[in-house]
A and B are shown apart, each in its own frame.
Chain A
């Protein structure tokens, strides 16, 4: 699949934003020490809003006819993209009321605001899930059509959010909260495991072949002619191919940038290094998302001569 820059930035930024918002609220309500500070809560809250909003604006850049974007809420019943849109919008009032509550009442918010906050955290995770299901529900792309896809999106969203949260908390209060750091470390390990499992899983040959695609299942089939003299929409959208060496290099780069270096930086416990860790993780996740697209092979490629997906 052609990795569109708008979709990469959208999923990475809004993933970090929703992860940050969910962990922030849950940490605050469950009484984690480092998060009982109005300043930390509001700063992280506003950063989460900024990440989510920028991400959503990027996603609009992907539409070829954005003037009809408002219609995207219509098919909530069947379409994951529609559901994502509905939850993304629904998140705002809940999260804003929660932040307003923190602003006026400080860290000791009342029961009503706590419930609104809990709902905002829930909607944040549900939105992440809906985003991942847009990809996971496509039977045409076997590298996406798996429960590993939502697992990856949710864990990586929470993971990047937790590092950003640890960075903000430690730089604003001057003393790092050990629970937030442990959480970030645990999520980094979980994220790395989920990603490595995914990489192994897509390596196994499976799925449709040029034979099932053309209906000639008892003989070899080779493409003679695609039937056009220059590439069309299908070639540009689905024909994206990267050499195997480059894929391997980028996979290593992704694992080092998004997981390995941040892991050691966080172990240090210094707030400056944690900020660097957050930036590295986000850039590593951009590589991760790029690979998620570049390695996905749509079945239309079979009609254009690929022997298998």
Chain B
């Protein structure tokens, strides 16, 4: 199994719902708490496992706003695991999830340096490394109804822009989406082979610039000009 997420950049509206749901679930999950320092002060710093950034792609009139949620990609070739000296960081054989054993981490930061996607953040209070667990404490929980055995971010997304599944199964929804929508990996040139895949925005025709000047406005403009003289 190769578990991971597909994220649809066409429909994501950048609401930060996934990040909030993630923080809520994981702060009391297996790696929790996800501490914040000075949360109500001037310069709050906290550990989040998911961050959403917004970009403007291309130039007007073709420009488009793209919201890009990013969490751990559970890379196939994850250097964050090989650089870790303590053995705290590991990748699970059975499903490919990359985790940090909080009892072993010494907070040296090296794994965060080795990660190209900014997926690891040091907990400012605990001094250990925190990262996305793909909600490993949800997806296998047989006490939950089957439909809820999904990562918190996926369940909460109001536009259903996040899909969770097995990339090794060619018939899974994630594999189909990647095929049909030409899913992309970020920064493939570094060779980490990230599992999470991004669906690019669909090409939509460029809207014509509407000429708003009606007859009434033209007359009004002309009169104003005359009076101003």
**Chain A interface (Cβ < 8 Å from any Cβ of B):** 1, 62-69, 71-75, 78-82, 85, 134, 137-141, 208, 212-216, 219-234, 236-238, 298-300, 303-304
Which residue of B55, B109, B192 is within 8 Å of A214 (Cβ)?
A: B55
Which residue of A66, A134, A139 is within 8 Å of B106 (Cβ)?
A: A66
CB <8 Å contact, A215 and B198: yes
CB <8 Å contact, A221 and B86: no
CB <8 Å contact, A78 and B56: no
In the complex where A64-B128, A139-B116, A141-B113 touch, is A224 in contact with B190 (Cβ < 8 A)?
no
Cβ proximity bits B42-63 to A, threshold 8 Å, 1 near / 0 not: 1111111001111111110010
Q: How far is the CB of B183 from chain A (nearest CB, A)?
A: 9
Q: Which residues of A contact B85 (CB under 8 A)?
A: 71-75, 79, 81-82, 85
Chain B interface size band reads 35 or more
- Asked whether any CB of chain A lies closer than 8 Å to the CB of B133, the reply is no
Complex: A12 Cα to B190 Cα, angstroms: 30
Cβ proximity bits B70-105 to A, threshold 8 Å, 1 near / 0 not: 100000000101111111100000000000000111
CB <8 Å contact, B86 and A213: no
Q: Which residues of A contact B219 (CB under 8 A)?
A: none
Which residue of A63, A78, A214 is within 8 Å of B83 (Cβ)?
A: A78
Q: Which residues of A contact B169 (CB under 8 A)?
A: none
CB <8 Å contact, A215 and B118: no
CB <8 Å contact, A140 and B115: yes
Complex: A72 Cα to B85 Cα, angstroms: 5
CB <8 Å contact, B87 and A81: no
CB <8 Å contact, A237 and B112: yes
- Asked whether any CB of chain A lies closer than 8 Å to the CB of B108, the reply is yes
Nearest to B83 among chain A residues (CB) is: A79
- Asked whether any CB of chain A lies closer than 8 Å to the CB of B144, the reply is no
Q: Which residues of B contact A63 (CB under 8 A)?
A: 106-108, 127
Complex: A81 Cα to B110 Cα, angstroms: 9
Q: Which residues of B contact A236 (CB under 8 A)?
A: 45
Complex: A281 Cα to B16 Cα, angstroms: 51
In the complex where A79-B84, A81-B108, A215-B198 touch, is A227 in contact with B57 (Cβ < 8 A)?
no
CB <8 Å contact, A140 and B186: no
